[in-house]
């Protein structure tokens, strides 16, 4: 969807117009008759979030009411959701161009509406023969938002689309070697990101026991990708390490998933896709923050010489792990990646992973399960910006007493608590074992992929977490004071 700045001539309209109406002052510039204004006021009194439509055949004037007096985060989220509802109407009417304007609105309100419109307009339809008619062009009245601010957001929104494409792509077209190649090409295209791709032999020489074990059942080789964005004007001397789970497809391994639990498991690499995208977004917009990303990639299959329950793995850092469940594979590849990232002496480690079904059962599909170790200040900032962009965190306890549930009689630790108590927390505690720097764990299992339409995120890959991380990078300097 193209968004450009321009002028709107109500006497020469070639498409419909959307007018954002946040307070009564705005009515002065509405191109409406007295009786239409009276009707609009009555609808506004009934519902401050209503969409009112006036026919100007063959086009329409849409007036989107919203309450500018609400707390900013609530008001902006309502605008995103309102945009998603409008987008469905535009699709039904096969509208491909829309003018957007408003009076008495602030840039943040307009940007939120455009953000919701852009994200709701996304479709993964490359394999469909009959495609929907989608919105292709938006003209925003030029006095509302500065071009530089719009351009920054457009780059972020395009990055969101690419992230969603990656997660939506079936594994038959996007396995670990292919995904690593795509990320390497993306880094080369940007020019300010260094990319290192480690193949099977390198992983064997590094003795990454977790990643190699999970890969044993697959016909495709594993990959470990390391990205580095190190701008000259960086505010942090040591990097923030972003670690993302890259299970390209998860069958459960020998503990194979039953029923329909294997459906949508192409999305089990959303953590790696999110962390690569977060770093690329920062690099594209040249944020002054030093980032590295560590992305272990493989699928989890029951074939060949697949690893099995009762196996004991020796991880990259030397820790031995007794396998109790091969469907708890994500934490194994993440553990090696976290241990490797830890050796780079970062000032903070953040991981993102579609890690546990327990997170979905406990918290639903609108919040990230979050935990932290020795990272109070950045975790508080992440909470603040999460509330601002409405990609929020639910903080879970992370006490060391939970480690009791990971004790093994024959190895250092087990990979999964067989009694399923505190499943989300113990998965995080397993990973914390490998982090010796400030550490934040984000379980995005409930929010990374939606099987039915969810607000402006739509169906399929959501990109939930990317806007959160980008806002965190923008404000990270607060952690340095």
Establish whether 257 is a catalytic residue: yes
In angstroms, the first-to-last Cα distance of the chain is 39
Rounded to 5 degrees, what angle do the CA atoms 265, 269, 271 make? 130
Give how far the C-alpha of residue 93 lies from the chain's centroid of Cα atoms, to the nearest Å. 30
Cβ burial 223-240 (10 Å sphere, 16+ → b, else e): bbbbbbbeeeeeebeebb
Of the candidates 44, 223, 331, 429, the residue annotated as catalytic is 331
User: Is 80 in the active site?
Assistant: no
Residue in 97, 184, 257, 392 annotated catalytic: 257
Closest CA to 115 of 147, 74, 144, 158: 158
Catalytic residues: 257, 331
């Amino acid at each position: 969807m193209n968004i450009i700045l321009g002028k709107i001539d109500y006497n020469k309209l070639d498409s419909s117009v959307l007018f954002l109406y946040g307070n009564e002052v705005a009515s002065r510039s509405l191109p409406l008759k007295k009786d239409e204004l009276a009707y609009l006021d009555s609808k506004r009194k009934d519902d401050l979030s209503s969409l009112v439509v006036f026919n100007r055949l063959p086009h329409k004037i849409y007036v989107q009411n919203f309450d500018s007096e609400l707390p900013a985060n609530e008001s902006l989220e309502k605008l995103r959701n309102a945009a998603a509802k409008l987008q469905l109407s535009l699709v039904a009417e096969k509208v491909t161009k829309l003018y957007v304007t408003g009076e008495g609105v602030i840039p943040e309100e307009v940007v939120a509406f455009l953000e919701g419109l852009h994200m709701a307009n996304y479709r993964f339809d490359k394999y469909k023969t009959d495609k929907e008619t989608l919105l292709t062009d938006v003209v925003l009245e030029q006095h509302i938002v500065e071009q530089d601010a719009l351009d920054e957001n457009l780059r972020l929104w395009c990055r969101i689309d690419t992230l969603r494409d990656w997660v939506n792509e079936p594994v038959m077209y996007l396995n670990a070697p292919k995904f690593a190649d795509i990320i390497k090409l993306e880094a080369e295209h940007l020019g300010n990101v260094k990319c290192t791709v480690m193949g099977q032999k390198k992983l064997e020489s590094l003795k990454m026991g977790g990643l190699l074990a999970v890969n044993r059942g697959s016909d495709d080789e594993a990959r470990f990708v390391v990205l580095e964005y190190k701008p000259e004007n960086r505010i942090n001397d040591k990097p923030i390490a972003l670690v993302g789970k890259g299970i390209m497809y998860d069958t459960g391994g020998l503990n194979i998933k039953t029923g329909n639990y294997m459906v949508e498991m192409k999305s089990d690499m959303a953590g790696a896709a999110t962390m690569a995208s977060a770093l690329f977004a920062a690099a594209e917009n040249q944020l002054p923050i030093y980032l590295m990303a560590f992305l272990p990639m493989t699928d989890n299959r029951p074939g060949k010489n697949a690893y099995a329950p009762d196996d004991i793995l020796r991880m990259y850092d030397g820790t031995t792990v007794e396998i109790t469940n091969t469907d708890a594979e994500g934490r194994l590849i993440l553990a090696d990646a976290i241990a490797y990232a830890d050796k780079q002496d970062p000032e903070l480690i953040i991981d993102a992973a579609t890690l546990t079904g327990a997170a979905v059962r406990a918290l639903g599909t609108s919040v990230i399960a979050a935990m932290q170790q020795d990272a109070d200040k950045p975790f508080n900032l992440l909470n603040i910006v999460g509330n601002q962009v409405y990609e929020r965190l639910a903080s879970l306890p992370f006490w060391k007493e939970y480690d009791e549930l990971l004790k093994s009689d024959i190895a250092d630790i087990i990979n999964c608590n067989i009694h399923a108590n505190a499943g989300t927390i113990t998965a995080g505690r397993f990973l914390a074992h490998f982090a010796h720097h400030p550490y934040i764990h984000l379980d995005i299992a409930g929010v990374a992929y939606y099987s039915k339409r969810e607000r402006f995120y739509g169906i399929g890959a959501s990109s939930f977490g990317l806007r959160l991380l980008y806002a965190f990078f923008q404000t990270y300097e607060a952690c340095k004071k």
